[in-house]
Amino acid sequence: MGVMVREYRSTDASVLAKLFYETIHTVNARDYTSAQLDAWAPHPPAPVPFDRALCAGRTVVAVEGDQPVGFASMDEGGYLDYLYVSKDCQGRGIATALCDALEAACPAPSFSTKASITARPFFERRGYRVVEHERVERNGVLLDRFAMEK
């Protein structure tokens, strides 16, 4: 059974909150310290506020069978706010499928994101370029990220 991309549903919020937390604490562990990971995502987001955040833009979910394995969200101005794929499904083209779906449906003339160290190579392969290296503070800890545009 393959992966299918569908529109986000509010009933996805709790599963995606857990996926968000687990992805950060496993996939991003090669580029960030434990303290940085804990500052970025000290715990899975609460489902209700997370649902509101995901409903603020267009969010799509990658599902395998009936199990969500990734999600991405973009506003109508072309800003990609979320892109997370399950730690168990990395390298299978899921992030590409999610981005392709959002970019194809977005009327914006260009796209932008704030990419982690981990995600930067993925976005560069998609034609994004670094506009600025940023150091942001989360819960008293500094994190490196990259403002990128396509």
| pLDDT score of 1 more than 70 | no
| pLDDT score of 109 more than 80 | yes
* Token code pair at residue 23: 């992805």
- Spatial distance between the Cα atoms of 15 and 35, rounded to a whole number of angstroms: 24
- Spatial distance between the Cα atoms of 57 and 119, rounded to a whole number of angstroms: 20
Average pLDDT over residues 85-114: 96
Query: What pTM, to 2 d.p., does this model score?
Result: 0.94
Residue pLDDT, tens place only, 42-97:
999 999 999 999 999 999 999 998 899 999 999 999 999 999 999 999 999 999 99
Please state, rounded to an integer, the average pLDDT across all residues of the chain: 96
32 contacts 143 by C-beta, under 8 angstroms? yes
What order do you get walking across the sheet with 3-7 strand by strand? Answer: 3-7, 58-64, 67-74, 79-85, 112-116, 141-149, 129-138
147 vs 50, 81, 130, 134, 137, CA distance in Å? 23, 11, 6, 7, 15
Q: Looking at residue 2, what is its pLDDT?
A: 84
The fraction of the chain above a pLDDT of 70, given in percent, is: 99
